[in-house]
């Protein structure tokens, strides 16, 4: 029962570096999401996907890119990391968007 | 634009109290509303999902209600325990069916023994 798996759990990046946050789900869910969570700010939607090959921007997409080549994987790419991207990132999935959403354990990213 | 608000941001109660957490949303055109629990340093776990046609959902000591016309939901926790200490978040799924799940800022609950 893996559910939603995110890697890595922690990462420190230097300003200007790039990295990919990995997300995989084994529940055959169509919908997948990337959120960032800043202290006291709730969750802000970065990108989401309603199926393989389909992605769309959320509230805060600038500085990020995504791809969805398969149902299982939904990686989030950070290009030219900035201190403002220091946050906890969560990946989530649901079958159709109308059912319960399942979350990964998060990736804590610090940009210095 | 749909906005979700949770008040209060933090709440501290003694063990055994019944308590209510509040969630409000600006656009009543929602398909459903979910309540989540988040423990420190962990991901979110879905507690209850209420469809727009429903008035309430119950799971154990938890009861969530939904008044779509007034844009409000409440999460009622009966006989609170220290293990209930966590952050509780609500999220709405708009009926426009864009796929987005929109969250409030959460209420951090501390239940003191």
* Digit-coded pLDDT (tens) for B72-101: 999 999 999 999 999 999 999 988 766 788
CB of B89 within 8 Å of a chain A CB? The answer is yes
* CB contact (8 A) between residue A31 and residue B99: yes
Is B59 part of the contact surface with chain A (CB cutoff 8 Å)?
Answer: no
**For residues B5-22, average pLDDT:** 96
The answer to whether residues A6 and A105 touch, using CB atoms and an 8 Å cutoff, is yes
| Partner residue opposite A48 with nearest CB, options B41, B44, B100 | B100
Q: What is the structure's pLDDT at A13?
A: 97
Cis status, amide bond into A8, omega within 30 of 0: yes
Contact B40, B108 (CB under 8 A): no
Is B54 an 8 Å CB contact of chain A? no
Tens digits of per-residue pLDDT, B18-77?
999 999 999 999 999 999 999 988 899 999 999 999 999 999 999 999 999 999 999 999
Q: Does residue A21 surpass a pLDDT of 80?
A: yes
Cα A78 vs. chain centroid, distance in angstroms? Answer: 10
Query: How many Cα atoms within 13 Å fall on the side-chain side of residue B52?
Result: 17
pLDDT grade for A1, boundaries at 50, 70 and 90: low
């Amino acid at each position: 029962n893996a559910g939603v798996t995110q890697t890595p759990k922690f990462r420190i990046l230097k300003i200007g570096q790039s990295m990919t946050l990995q997300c995989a789900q084994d529940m055959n869910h169509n919908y997948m999401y990337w959120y960032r969570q800043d202290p006291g700010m709730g969750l802000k939607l970065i990108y989401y996907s309603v199926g393989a090959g389909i992605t769309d921007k959320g509230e805060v997409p600038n500085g990020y890119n995504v791809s969805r080549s398969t149902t299982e994987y939904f990686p989030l790419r950070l290009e030219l990391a900035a201190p403002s991207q220091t946050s906890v990132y969560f990946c989530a999935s649901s079958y159709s968007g109308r059912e319960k959403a399942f979350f990964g354990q998060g990736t804590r990213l610090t940009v210095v | 634009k749909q906005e979700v608000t949770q008040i209060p941001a933090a709440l501290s109660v003694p063990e055994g109290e019944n308590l209510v957490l509040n969630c409000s949303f600006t656009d009543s055109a929602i398909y459903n509303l979910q309540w989540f629990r988040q423990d420190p340093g962990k991901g979110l776990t879905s507690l209850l999902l209420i469809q727009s046609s429903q008035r309430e959902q119950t799971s154990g000591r938890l009861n969530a209600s939904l008044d779509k016309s007034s844009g409000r939901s409440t999460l009622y926790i009966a006989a609170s325990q220290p293990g209930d200490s966590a952050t509780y978040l609500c999220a709405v799924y708009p009926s426009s069916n864009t796929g987005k799940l929109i969250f409030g800022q959460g209420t951090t609950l501390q239940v003191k023994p």
